[in-house]
Amino acid sequence: MDGFVLGLFLFAAFLGGFASGLAGFAMGFVVSGIWLHVITPVQTAALIAGYSLLTQGYGVWKLRRTLSWRTIAPFIIGGTIGVPLGAVLLTYLNPGHVRLGIGVLLVIYSIYGLAKPTLKPQKAGAGADGVVGFLNGVLGGLTGLPGFIITVWCQMRGWTKDQQRAVFQPVILAAMAVIALTLGAAGAITTDTLKLYALGLPALLAGLWLGFRCYGKLDDATFRKIVLLLLLCSGLALIAAQAWPR
């Protein structure tokens, strides 16, 4: 890895950590936009899973006083069931088509949310939360990105920024733990990948720290807009990734 490629790798790690600290999600999406051009897809997937365990774990610890396990449990149970099913569906579905469909939905939702100042909070019970967790897990198993559905759902519930993160960060953490175990069992975590993990860790932690510092200065309305903008960018990039000539 020459100096320029190393710089890109570390820059992506920093941006991914910052996104995770600021919004609580989108680290995997941010880094993959650069890493897929400088390291292999398998290394990218393994690093995203490994770093997500760290960033989401740190986020959960920071927000530990606002956690409600009674609220979180249905999402985690549903997600734990959904991730392996999503991995199985890889045999039958085209992940690229799934990403394209999710990208279109994210763009539509984000534009609508940004155009409409406030959304009427949606009321739901544990059953609906479990279904959302399951669908979030299936998407994570299919694409390695188990954060979009749960993030949108938390926005629709009308929760405060701390309430949202106290739900979707533990859910993403649990899903990433299952994904990491799956990758480990498949032999995707190699010595070279572990070296890359150690190499990018300081940059990631610096971005994570800065992101949390900025998060502390946000009000609920600004946080909502940032999440919507990140979802919009994620959706557009998912669409572009499928439309880009190979």
DSSP 167-193: HHHHHHHHHHHHHHHHHHHTT---HHH
Say yes or no to pLDDT of 244 above 60.
no
Tell me what pLDDT residue 86 has. 84
Say yes or no to pLDDT of 44 above 80.
yes
**Domain region containing 18:** 3-243
Tokens describing residue 161: 């920024």
Number of domains forming the structure of the chain: 1
Q: How far, in Å, CA of 241 to CA of 246, rounded?
A: 9
Say yes or no to pLDDT of 75 above 60.
yes
Give the predicted TM-score (pTM) of the model.
0.81
Comparing CA positions, the residue from 7, 29, 11 lying closest to residue 20 is 29
Q: Please name the residues in contact with 210: beta carbons below 8 A apart, sequence gap of 6 or more.
A: 17, 18, 21
Q: Considering just the CA atoms, what is the radius of gyration of the chain in Å?
A: 17
Q: Which residue has the higher pLDDT, 114 or 77?
A: 77
pLDDT tens profile 174-205 = 988 988 888 888 788 899 999 999 999 999 99
Share of the chain above pLDDT 90, in %: 29
Given a contact cutoff of 8 angstroms between Cβ atoms, the answer to whether 133 and 82 are in contact is yes
Say yes or no to pLDDT of 118 above 70.
no
Average pLDDT of the residues in 205-230? 90
Per-residue pLDDT band at 243 (split at 50, 70, 90): low
Which residue is it, tokens 């897990």? 137
DSSP 60-107: HHHTGGG--HHHHHHHHHHHHHHHHHHHHHTTTS-HHHHHHHHHHHHH
Tokens describing residue 5: 């490629």
